[in-house]
Amino acid sequence: MRTNLFIKVIVQHDEKELPEKLGAELCRQLEKNYIVRKAELSSVAPLEE
């Protein structure tokens, strides 16, 4: 059986760090450590503080 899970993640980072790069690293870690078949970053949305 396969199931899609949609997870919202809020990260705090320096302005120099690209959110896309952080998302790619999170996906890589999910695939490596949790036997995730495929992980992808679908969108990036800055938060208003």
- Single pTM value for the model: 0.78
Provide the 8-state DSSP code for 29.
H
The structure tokens listed for 14 are 């320096």
Residue type for position 40? E
Torsion 3-10-30-19 (CA) sign: positive
Give the C-alpha separation, 48 to 26, whole Å: 22
Q: Residue 21: its pLDDT value, please?
A: 94
pLDDT in tens, 1-49: 888 889 989 999 999 999 999 999 999 999 999 888 999 999 999 887 6
Question: In this predicted structure, what is the pLDDT of residue 48?
Answer: 78
How far is the C-alpha of 12 from the C-alpha of 3, rounded, in Å? 28
